[in-house]
Every structure is written in structure tokens, then in C-alpha cells.
Structure 1
Amino acid sequence: MKLVYRLLVITLCSFATYADTLSIKQQQAWLEDINFFENQVRTKHIEPFHTLAENDFARLLKELKQDLPLLSEPQVEARLMAITGAIGDGHSNYFMMSGPHQHFPLRYKFFDNKLHVIDATKPYQHLIGAELKTINGLTVEGLFELITPLLPGIDNQFSAKTRFEFYLTLHKLLLGLGLIKESAAAQFEFELGGNTLNEQIIPVAMSEFAKLSSAFKNHSDKFNMLDIGMPGISLNLLKENKVAYFDFNAYPSFEQVIAKCKALLKQLKAAKSKYLIIDFRGNGGGSFYNGLAFSSCLLPLDQFDWKAGVFVLTDEHTFSAAMSNTVQFKQILNARIFGTPTGGDPNQFSESYRFVLPNSKRKLSVSKRYYPFLFEDTDAVYPDELIETSWLDYQQGNDTVLSAVLTEIEKIENNTCSN
């Protein structure tokens, strides 16, 4: 009922949007799209009403159809996002960015529950490091409460934060919720060094926004990463080749893993690497079967310390297949997990069935499988060693998680030598 209450609040807020309402022709097109959406959810999702009751789903769609003459396109999309979000799993999503959109030219990341600007386009670079306080008078806390029920890719409170960091920049979403006006700058308030900064900011094209760094700051660029022929996975040999560090940023195909496995084994044998680090931070998923193929490739190497020398790094961006492989590698590789909790739920509805609405061409997905990877009541894979990154470490480019693992490896080495 809490989700439905939030949806009702969203519905009321959306009528405050300052944008043109739909024409009769547009209303008919969206009506067809909504009916198509309903059919896809009912027939393609493995269990569509595991969280949102079927009668509430039907009622929300009926109300949306009735309201079409009063709504603008951003309002319709916000409502569809809300209904899809209420289905209640991170693989059932409405992708608002599959249509035309703009972004406010800032990137954010939470540190100690404060939302900092981590990058900005040239006119606003003086805001880097500032804490966002309000947009058009609404606090970050209020925005979070209002926006997160709509967002795609949310399994738990950790992925909710990462999605909010990104989608707070999406102009059309804020417009659909009635938080900003169509052709007017939004009023942003920041705090920096004890001073309040007020800025009137207008959105920019996606192409301009895309030049900004992501909220996940990948420190592997400090290393001489080696191309192993598996796109999305790169290797660095640390500590005089004793540590094989894999930056597993994205998923290669199964065929690519198999084709390059022998060459990788030869490389690792020559290096005589003893310790293994697999970094899933920032990895939003792919096919966990391909991740299992990668682990299968490594298993023949008896040179690794399979008892105490395997580590997996995670953060709130570790989602879907990357989360699944984290659980599996803990089980089959005896890995220890360092970092922060995963954004993915190990007992999850998963495996996206993707479809496109026939008229608007907006893209959506619903879950077609369910995987219980941990037979316990939990919402994330929690690390064996919780290592968080402070704003200061982030600014200075200090990888506190990797440093903690390398320190642990030194302890293992020292204990081995002393014995």
C-alpha cells in the first residue's frame, strides 16, 4: 500500500507540470501504447504481481488512460515509469531516455549521505565539490522520496542512490513530475565551503552531458591495463606480477572468453601470479553465464592461493549479472568480498525481456526469470570487509578498496614467510 500511496502523490504532482497537453491524435497513440504495455507486463513477466497487486495495477492504468486529455507527454512517461517501478524489481523498467531528452549539466555522487557535484560542464565547473541542497526549493531528501519510486534498475537502497544520482539530471523526468517549467531555467542551491551558491541552470543535449565523468570513478586508469581480448575485462599484474588484478567492467561474449582463455592462462602462468582480484565495481551486468565461463577459465591454475588469495571488489553499481557472479565467486572461488554492498538483490527477478511501444517507440523491460542465489532474507550481497570511500579520497583519486586488498595480501605474504 505504501507504493500505491506514493503513486497517488506522484499523480497529483504531475498535474502541476508546465507543458503542452496531448493532442487528440497523441492521446490515441498513447492509449494504444498503454494497452500494449499492459499486455506485455501480464504475458511476459514471470510473476508480474509479486509486489504490486493486480487490481492496483489495473486501476493505475485505468486512471492514466482517463487522465490522458489533461497530460503532457512528460507526464504520461512519468506515470508509466511510476507504474513500472511499482512492479517492484530492478529488471522491470521504463526507459525514459529511449525518447528525446536533455540533462542538467552536472554529475552527482553521495558521500556520507550528502550529494556532491563530481563533474560539470565548463560554465558550472566552479560547482565541483559543492553539495546540492535544493532544486526549485525542494530539498534533496524530498526529491529522493519523490523520484526513486519511478526509477529503473532498483533492487535495494544502494541501487536507489546510484539511480537517483543519475536521474536527478534528467530534465524530462523533473518536468513530468511538475518540479520545473518547460522553457525556464531551474533554481539550484548549493553549499560549498560554508557558502551558499544559487544558480539558474538550463538543460543541455545528451551529447554534451555524456562528456562528463560517471559517478563511478574507475581508478584502473592509473595502471598499465593489458588487453586480454575479452572486451570489458582488462588485466594488470601488480606487486611484481604476484597479483593478477582484473578490471571486470563489462561482459564479453561467451565465445570471446573461450577463444582467449588459453592465451590468458599462458600469460598468467608466465607471470606466476599467486593472488587474484576481480573488480566488479561499476559493473551493471550482462550474462552471468559468461562470468562463469571466465571463472572456469581461471580454475585450472593451481598457482593461485585458492584458500585465502582470491578477492572480489563490489560497490552499489554492482548489479544484475555482476552481483550474481559476486555470489558465485564467493562460493566456487572461495573469494572474499571487499568494498560496499551490491546494488543488486541476490534473490531477484531478473533476465530482462525487452520491448518497444509501437507508437512512441519508448523502450521497456520486464523480468522473465527468478533466481534465488542466497537462501536467506537479504537485499544485497554484503562485503566481508566494508570499505567506503570518503569525498576526500575520491577527490584525490585514492582507491581505498583496492589498497585494503593489497594490504591484506601483504599480510598473507608476511604470514607465509614467517611460517
Structure 2
Amino acid sequence: MIVATRLSPSPRRGVAPIRRLSLLWLAITGLALSGLAAGPGRGFAQGHTDTRRVVSSTPATAAALADTARVRRWREEVRAITQRVRHQHPRPFAFSSEAAFDSSARAIEARIATSDDARLAVECMRMVAALGDAHTQVIGTLPPLGFTTVLPIVMRPFEDGLYVTAAGPEYAAWVGSKVTRIGELATDDALARVASATSADNRYTQLDRAPLFLMMPALLQALGVVPDRDRVSLEIERAPGKRERIVVIGGPPPEGFPFAFLETEPPIPAAWTSARRVTANALPRCDQRPESAWWFEVLPDSRAVYLRLRRIEPISGDLAYFELYRRLFAVLDSLKPSALIVDLRHDHGGNNTILDPLIRGIIARPWLDRQGALFALIDRGTFSAAMNAAVFLDERTRALFIGEPTGGRVNHYGDAPERDTPNFGMMLQVSTVPWTSRFPNDDRAWIAPEHAVPSTFADWREAKDRALDSALEALREGALSPRVLASAKRSGTEAAQATFEAWRAAHPSPWETDPHGDLAGYCADLIEAGEWRDAAVLGEVMVALDPRSSISWRLLGEAAAANGNRARAVECLKKTLEINPRAQVAAMMLRRLGEKP
């Protein structure tokens, strides 16, 4: 069953300014006149020459840079940005230093008379990016400030390196190559410099936004990555160990730039070559139906329901969000499927107000809201309202998270209206609303998945959806905690420990997730459901795996008490207090058993 087939024409919050930037790029670079008139056979280098004639370059002489009026206008610009940040943001220095922010502003003002417009714009971007809030940003990469060319090549970072994922006709031969150096810098160093100008909540926001900025040679020049603002030298590796140098010449922006290229999976212009080796019909489910904000279907082989939330929008096609939820829950109640898989990947957000009915509907169905029956797929593109959806699922349900870390932090700021800076028209967005979880002191920079699925170029190229496959595998073979419990009941504690360690070896995580937490959560669910014998069996496995876990000993003590095993309960609760003397619940339970804590 498929629901919703067309994208709502309503713009999302935060999208409008990027649309304006797109129009500005088109208008000023003269793409509508020169690029389109040139036809598909014209090269980007020739288009670049036309662009340079249309757009006046930034002041080049020392006298022009030091012009009193120019210096005054830039000083006003910097002060307008800093004042807006201070007056509008609820806590502008929640993740950064106020002293460092002030120092950056003074340093920019001191360099106005000796720096061109592009460098000053990038320095403003870096100053605001250092605040550590992805919704608070300056976008100064405008043609009037010297950003007149775009590279006809997309470079995307994966966990195994930076790769050319698409390119225009002139550079099609290098599509699929690994990029080992940009200019004279190793790719990690180049990406670090790009990250310094990228407003982000964490490393994964930076990785998600990197491809767009890597297309802008003037930005790379301003960051000291390359010497020229109209071309970039790359060292690439087309075969292992065989490296070569290429030079990519910038030209007019491709169709949809920059708006379309903000997407985690940007649509590639028709004349370009993609590194993906599959047709559109064979793409992973998360990349299908890009025109739809959301849809769902039943996966017949697994009897799971797959819900795709590509954009958190109130309307998709001719359906409102509450109509989607009615249909979704009607199907769930009718079929009683084995699982619900909520896919939040590549979802940059939208309208937070439509999320609550979905979360409440899941919680109202205990047969669905349990470990092994509810999955959330996340990645670097899970951001803003989609990040809030992930937080709600994390806090209020038993969802198992699969994929890579989210692009948003757990407690973050958002709802950032856009404004143009007064003198140069740079886009400025400053957060106005704190989005706080149930735990205001939760300082996680992201939600890390329990089942780690690092993104690799090979998987992306072959359109392999390892995250969805991992969810379906958990359905077939059982999630970790039920699997460990079954092993313990069948063969004892040692066998269950071996099952746990084998699972961990098969699912390594670079993000230091703790699978012991899965066991503790499942044990607590068993106690709540009155399944005390199973809880006690699982508790014995937990304390064997981690003898220094006070929560494991406390849960085992609670299960033992419920089973009438007073001696074991007292032993476990005293062990809890030995590890954590401040464990008040354990002390209370001991007193109930007639023991002194």
C-alpha cells in the first residue's frame, strides 16, 4: 500500500531563503542568458568566462580594499550580525565561548581594509559557525561578493573517504574516484577547514553539508584550501594505489543550485553522470518517491510496515498529515504486522507540530511499542524537526535505532527566521526556540544507533540499504535482548554471554554505543509486564557481562524479589549499594525486605 504521491507545493520553514539564493545566483551569473543559451554542449570553462564578464569582481587593489566607505559598510555588517545573535538567540553561547565570539568579530573588523569581500564573508560564516548551532548561520557565498563559479562535480564524504559521486560531461571519467587531496591538503584537513565555516550541531551536520561547499572554489580559496577562486586541483585515486592530478574548472551553477544540492541525496542534472550503478527504480526505498513528503507501504516478505518521513510537512500531495496517520494506524490495527520501521534518513525537518499524533499512536499500541517490533532508521541528514521525531522516539518508545548518528543534537535550538544583512545581503538565520528533551542536561551531540551501519561508498554506489537490511535481519533472527534471553533459557548464562559477544562482534560500532543498555531496558520492560522469571534470567546474564553495573544488579534484585527469592534479592540490592551508595531505590527495596541498607 502506498500513501501520498506528490510533494506539497508549500515551502518549508528555512527553505525560502535558499530559494532566494538560487534566484540570486541565476540572476547575477546570467545563467538564464549565457548558460542555457550555450546549450548542453558548451563547457563549464566557457560559461565561466561569461560569468566573469557579467559579475564585477571584489576590490583587488589595496586602495579599493581600504576605501573608507567600504570599511564602514563591512564594520556595520559585522556588528549587525553580532547584535542579531546576541539579541535573538535564547542562549547564543550554550555550546561556545562568548569571549571567542567577541574576539572573532574584532579580528574580522581589523582585517577589513586588507581582505577582499569573499574572505570577509567566509570569516563571518566561521564566526557564527563556531557557536555550534546548526540553525544559526550566515550564508555569504553570493556572486556579488566574489562567489561567481561552481565546480561541475559533487564530492561526498563517506566513512571510508571522500568520493566523486557525480560530475558534468567534462569530468565524467573521474566519477567514482576517491579524492585523496584537495589542493595540497589531505582530504581530512580540507574537510576540517570547510567544517569551520559550516554551522552545525555536530560532525555529521558538517558531513551532510560539505558537498555543497566543496562545489564553491572561491570558498575553498578563502579558507586557504586552494590558491584560485575559479578552479580546484584534486588528487584522485581511480584504482587502489594509482593516483593522478586533475584540475576542475568552475563555471555557472548547475540547474537547481544551491537549493537542490543541500539535500543529502541531491538530484543530479540530466546531463551529468552519477556514480550510482542502478536505475531510479532500483534505488533504496529511502531515495524513492522524492516528490513525496511521506508515504508508507507493507513489506510483504517480512510483514513489516515501512513509514518513510522524507520531510516533516503537514501536506503531501492531496493528503494532510492526520489523514496519513489515520490510514497508517488503520493498516497497523488490521494487519498486526511484525514491526513498524520509521525511516528518518535524509530528513532535514519541517513542521514540529505534526509529530505528536504519530508518537502517541505508537505508544497506544503496546504490541508495537516493544523491542524488536519498532525501528527508527537515522543518518547524518536526520535534522531539525526530524531530529525532534528521533528524540521523541528515543525518549518515549522502545524504538531500536539503526544507521549512523543524527545530524542534530538532542537538545538544540531552532525556528530561525531568515534576514538579509543590511549592506551586502548575506543570509542570516538565528535560532529563537530551544528544543529541549525531557532531560535538559542531556548533552549528547547526536543520537547514536544501537545497530551501527557506517556509510560506505561501495554500499551507496550499489544502492545497498544496509540499515533497512539490519532492521529486517533483527525481525528474522530476533533483536539482541530477546535473542540473549532465549539463549539463556535454552542453554544457560554462559551461552547467553557468548550470544551477546558474538552479536557485538558482528555489529561493531565506531560510535561507542553500549549494547548493555538494550539488555537493561528489555529487563525493565519484562518486570513492568510481570514476566519476572524471564527478567531474573536476563538479569543474571547482565551481571555476568558487567559486574560493575549498579542498574543491572538493581534490576536483578527487583526481579528476584518479585519471584519470591528473598535471599538473592537482598544480595543483589546490597551489591547495588556497594557499587553506587546513592542508589535510593535499592535502599528502599532493602528496607521493604526488612534489611538495613
Please give the range of the TM-score, normalised by the shorter of the 2 chains. Answer: 0.7 to 0.9
CA separation in 2, counterparts of 1:183 and 1:55? 32
CA separation in 1, counterparts of 2:216 and 2:397? 40
Give 1:222 deviation, angstroms: 5.1
2:463 is aligned to: 397
CA separation in 1, counterparts of 2:407 and 2:103? 30
CA separation in 2, counterparts of 1:276 and 1:78? 44
3-state SS of 2:80 partner: helix
1:171 is aligned to: 217
Residue 240 to residue 113, structure 1, CA distance change in 2 (3 Å): closer
CA separation in 1, counterparts of 2:413 and 2:69? 36
1:159 is aligned to: 205
Higher relative contact order (CA 8 A, sep 6+): 1
Aligned partner (choices 141, 156, 159) of residue 109 of structure 1: 156
Once the two structures are superposed, residues 293-338 of structure 1 have per-residue CA deviations (whole angstroms, 9 ceiling, x without a partner) of 3333555567746453110001122122222211211332321111
Matched, 1:85 2:132: no
Matched, 1:262 2:326: yes
Residue 259 to residue 360, structure 1, CA distance change in 2 (3 Å): farther
CA RMSD of aligned residues (A): 3.5
Aligned partner (choices 314, 328, 353) of residue 392 of structure 2: 328
Give 1:158 deviation, angstroms: 2.4
What code does the residue aligned with 1:70 have?
T
CA separation in 2, counterparts of 1:93 and 1:157? 16
Equivalent residues of 2:150, 2:216 under 8 A apart: yes
Give 1:212 deviation, angstroms: 7.5
3-state SS of 1:367 partner: coil
What code does the residue aligned with 1:188 have?
L
* Residue correspondence of structure 1 range 274-313 to structure 2 within 5 A: 274-297=338-361, 304=368, 306-313=370-377
Residue 61 to residue 50, structure 1, CA distance change in 2 (3 Å): same
Aligned partner (choices 179, 187, 191) of residue 132 of structure 1: 179
Residue 214 to residue 83, structure 1, CA distance change in 2 (3 Å): closer
Once the two structures are superposed, residues 185-225 of structure 1 have per-residue CA deviations (whole angstroms, 9 ceiling, x without a partner) of 32221111032222121123333475889654899845599
Equivalent residues of 1:120, 1:212 under 8 A apart: no
Deviates more, 1:244-253 or 1:94-103: 94-103
CA separation in 2, counterparts of 1:410 and 1:133? 40
3-state SS of 1:361 partner: coil
Report the TM-score when normalising by structure 1.
0.82
Equivalent residues of 2:363, 2:396 under 8 A apart: no
5+ long unaligned stretches in structure 2: 1-56, 267-279, 487-597
What code does the residue aligned with 1:76 have?
L
* Residue correspondence of structure 1 range 181-200 to structure 2 within 5 A: 181=227, 184-193=230-239, 194-200=241-247
5+ long unaligned stretches in structure 1: 1-17
Equivalent residues of 1:241, 1:272 under 8 A apart: no
Once the two structures are superposed, residues 247-287 of structure 1 have per-residue CA deviations (whole angstroms, 9 ceiling, x without a partner) of 21111128932244334444545555341111111112223
Equivalent residues of 1:158, 1:316 under 8 A apart: yes
Matched, 1:245 2:306: yes
1:96 is aligned to: 140
- Count how many residue pairs are aligned between Structure 1 and Structure 2: 397
Higher share of residues assigned helix: 2
What code does the residue aligned with 1:168 have?
L
Deviates more, 1:54-63 or 1:117-126: 54-63
Equivalent residues of 1:274, 1:305 under 8 A apart: no
3-state SS of 1:207 partner: coil
Residue 393 to residue 141, structure 1, CA distance change in 2 (3 Å): closer
Give 1:402 deviation, angstroms: 0.3
Matched, 1:141 2:185: no
3-state SS of 1:119 partner: strand
Equivalent residues of 1:119, 1:213 under 8 A apart: no
CA separation in 2, counterparts of 1:411 and 1:170? 47
Equivalent residues of 1:226, 1:234 under 8 A apart: no
Larger Rg: 2
1:5 is aligned to: none
Higher share of residues assigned strand: 1
Matched, 1:388 2:432: no
2:380 is aligned to: 316
Aligned partner (choices 170, 181, 187) of residue 123 of structure 1: 170
Matched, 1:338 2:402: yes
Report the TM-score when normalising by structure 2.
0.59
